[in-house]
Structure 1
Amino acid sequence: MEKVRRWVREDFGLDVGELTPVGHGADVAADVWKAATVANTYAVKWSGAGTNTGHQVAAFLAETIPGVPEPVRTVEGGLWTFHGKKKRLTVTPWIDGVRAAETGLTVAQWAEYGVLLRRVHEAEPPERLRNALPKRSPVNGRIPALAEELQVRLTTRAPEDELEEELAAVWKERQETITGLLSARISEPAGPRVVCHADPHLGNVLVDDRVHLIDWDDVVLAPREQDLMFLLGGMGSLGPTTTEQLTAFFTGYGDVALDQDAISYYRHARALEDVALWAEQALTGPDREGCIDILRGVLGPGGLAPLALS
Structure 2
Amino acid sequence: MGETLLRKWLLADFGLEVVELTPVAYGADVAAQVWRAGTATNAYAVKWSGAGTNTGHQVAAFLADSGLPGVPEMIRTTEGGLWSVHAKKRLTITPWIDGVRAAQGGLTEEQWSEYGVLIRRVHDSEPPHRLRDALPVRSHIDVRTPAIAEQVRTRLETPDGEVEEELAAVWTQYEHVITDLLTNRPPAPTGPRVVCHGDPHLGNVLVDEHLHLIDWDDVIYAPREQDLMFMLGGMGDVGPTTPTQRDAFLTGYGPHAIDDDAIHYYRHVRAFEDVIGWSHQAITGPDNKDALTVAKGVLDHGLAALAVSAER
**Residue 199 of structure 2 corresponds to which residue in structure 1?**
199
Name the counterpart of 1:58.
60
Distance 1:145 1:190 in 2: 26
**1:1-310 to 2 correspondences below 5 Å:** 1-63=3-65, 64-84=67-87, 86-154=88-156, 157-301=157-301, 303-309=302-308, 310=310
Secondary structure at 1:139's aligned position in 2?
helix
Q: Give the C-alpha shift of residue 171 in structure 1.
A: 1.2
Q: Which moved more, 1:168-177 or 1:12-21?
A: 168-177
Number of corresponding residues: 306
d(CA) in 2 for partners of 1:256, 1:250: 9
Deviations 1:153-177 (A, max 9, x none): 32xx221111111111111111111
Superposed displacement of residue 148, structure 1: 3.2
Separation of aligned partners in 1, 2:227 and 2:158: 39
Encode CA deviations 1:28-55: one digit per residue, 9 max, x unaligned.
Answer: 0000000000100000000000001111
> Residue 245 of structure 1: CA displacement?
0.5
Contact 2:11 2:18 in 1 (8 A): yes
Cα distance in 1 for partners of 2:40, 2:222 equals: 41
Gap runs ≥5 in structure 2: none
Tell me the secondary structure at the aligned position of residue 226 of structure 2: helix
Shift of 1:152: 3.7
Task: Give the Cα separation in 2 of the matches to 1:123 and 1:244.
Answer: 27
Equivalent position SS for 2:140: coil
RMSD: 0.9
Shift of 1:146: 2.1
Q: Distance in 2 between matches of 1:258 and 1:218?
A: 22
Residues of 2 paired with 1:54 and 1:181: CA distance?
A: 27
Deviations 1:189-215 (A, max 9, x none): 111010000000000000001011000
Question: Structure 2 counterpart of 1:101, which letter?
Answer: A
Give the secondary structure class of the aligned counterpart of 1:118. helix
Instruction: Provide the rounded CA distance (Å) in 2 between the counterparts of 1:246 and 1:189.
Output: 23
Letter in 1 for 2:82: L
Give percent identity, aligned residues only: 65
The CA distance in 2 between the partners of 1:168 and 1:212, in whole Å, is: 38
Structure 1: gaps (5+ residues): none
- 1:67-96 C-alpha deviation (Å, 9 max, x unpaired): 000110000000000001x10000000000
Could you tell me which amino acid in structure 2 is paired with residue 132 of structure 1? A
- 1:149 is displaced (CA, Å) by 3.4
Report the secondary structure of 1:33's partner residue. strand
